[in-house]
Homo-oligomer: A and B are copies of this chain.
Amino acid sequence: MPTLTVDLGNRSYPILLGTAMLAKPQNFLPYIGKGRPLIVTNDRVAPHYLETLRQAVADCHPASLVLPDGESHKTLQTAGLIYDALLEGRFGRDAVLIALGGGVIGDLTGFAAATYQRGIGFIQVPTTLLAQVDSSVGGKTGVNHPLGKNMIGAFHQPLAVIADIDVLGTLPKRELVAGLAEVIKYGLLGDAPFLDWIEHHIDALLALDSAALAEAIQRSCANKARIVGLDERESGPRALLNLGHTFAHAIEAGLGYGAWLHGEAVGAGMCMAADLSCRLGWLSAADRDRAIKLIERAGLPTRLPEQLKPTDFVRLMAHDKKVLAGQLRLVLLKAIGEAVVTRDFEPSKLDETIASYCAPPYAA
């Protein structure tokens, strides 16, 4: 399988994708170099893969730290546990963190790497589909704040991303489905041929067909790498990757982080983005329905959770990072495969979308 490169000048790095990747020392040693590795993982992933990875990098005498699993632990306090382990282990600037886990572990570990002694190296070893296709690539790191998701963070690119398709075999079905939300996102926002392909292979992906998964991951990462390479710090086109995410962040904040998986919230959020795009006259009803149908076939939610009232939802959206000088920016669709970042929409149309996506008794 080809290696992809995220092209960022002297911060460029490879994405290595394949099977049995975790057991191969040659996937890790070139990036650890003479550094001292600390593997950071969680208590759900550790029993499956920590020992395999420890063996692969045994020549570098790795230390390891097992954190509690879950989005509720993606906090400054948990990042503090990584700092503690580094300082208690007397790690210097030659420390290399290895993030073995899903998006939470990757974001937390990346943030600790960005901020320990003003920046050390780290390697992403994503163990969920969502992390393999999205969060491990692109250098966004961070933790949540009670008032907002990912509000504290840094851009810090990894030394390498090492994605092992085999690990998806132990992934709960719900998390596989959540990962498919981001796969579908790449098709919707900028790659119509890929969206066609996903429509034809959604059942194979849900059945964990290796060849289908490999192609989905490879095409997703290629899309992400291309967009990140254009705009590392999200001053322009990178914002397109947030299709569905402003809605999703409001869902996650409203329910409490972790109640819905991020990908689930993105699924419902993309439906809302498609709905609003249609109400604005930008997307045909047929294309709106096509997008929603695929999200539904993937097994993702296509409605807001019952607990959220329209007024709550509007308030939660106002906290999003994409609010620039008081104006909400959204990623919307001009067509399948053509997303735009815009502030130029009628607020009343957004209200209609929100009302129509809220469950009874709040629904319009």
Contacts and interface: CB of A to CB of B under 8 A. Distances in A.
Given A93-B324, A324-B94, A147 B114 contact: no
Interface in A217-263: 233-234
B324 A83 contact: no
Nearest to A147: B87
Contacts of A141: 118
Most B C-beta atoms less than 10 A away, residue of A92, A114, A117: A92
A303 to B, nearest CB: 28
Interface string A311-342: 00000001101011110000000000000000
A140 interface: yes
Contacts of A94: 324-325
Interface string A151-181: 1111100000000000000000000000000
A346 interface: no
Contacts of A151: 83, 87, 116-117
Interface residues of A, number: 39
A142 interface: yes
Interface in A86-129: 87-88, 90, 92-94, 114-119
A34 interface: yes
Interface string A61-93: 000000000000000100010011001101011
Given A92-B325, A147-B88, A154 B154 contact: yes
Contacts of A152: 83, 115-116
Interface string A127-155: 00000000000001110010110111111
